[in-house]
Amino acid sequence: MPQPDPAPSASRGSVDALDQPARGRIVDGEHRFPVRVYFEDTDLSGIVYHANYLRYMERARSDMLVRAGIDQRAHQEAGGGTYAVTALAIRYRAPARLDDALIIITQLQQIRAASVDIHQRVMLGAQILTEADVTAALVSPGGRPLRQPAAWVTAFLQVMGEMRSDQGK
């Protein structure tokens, strides 16, 4: 039998601080993002459909930008462009199944003038289910590469837990 919330909202249907989507966190140079596998994520065999791992990883990368203080939406709306995946290599090791509680671990590998290399792992406990190497490039609304703002490079270096002088060149 479902248990009632210990502190229900004052008015029915109102939204409070606890009613928020999943959020990740940055710990020791990596971003950790929780994902639960829902029925819609699975195929007829009961395992996660292969393309959904890409969705999980995209959500994690987007959340990492927010946690790092990068407002990609405002930058895009101001005409400054947005990130686009320009390369992707993925390896499926083991399947995720309905109701699995996964963690998507994102690590920044290299920062260049217009792009960033990212390694991501989909984990079930200590087991790697899927891993990918992703290159995301900042591109103009017309699709041309753009130099990443210096503040974003600094934010990425902080996420990585290091301030190496050779990054971002």
Whole-angstrom Cα distance, residue 159 to residue 141? 27
Contact by Cβ (8 Å): 63, 122? no
Active-site residue set: 43
Half-sphere exposure of 4 (CA within 13 A, CB side): 4
Closest CA to 60 of 100, 31, 102, 20: 31
What the block records as the tokens of 83 is 């990130």
Closest CA to 86 of 134, 154, 42: 134
Q: Is 36 exposed, middle or buried (0-12, 13-18, 19+ CB in 10 A)?
A: exposed
Closest CA to 119 of 153, 169, 128, 127: 128
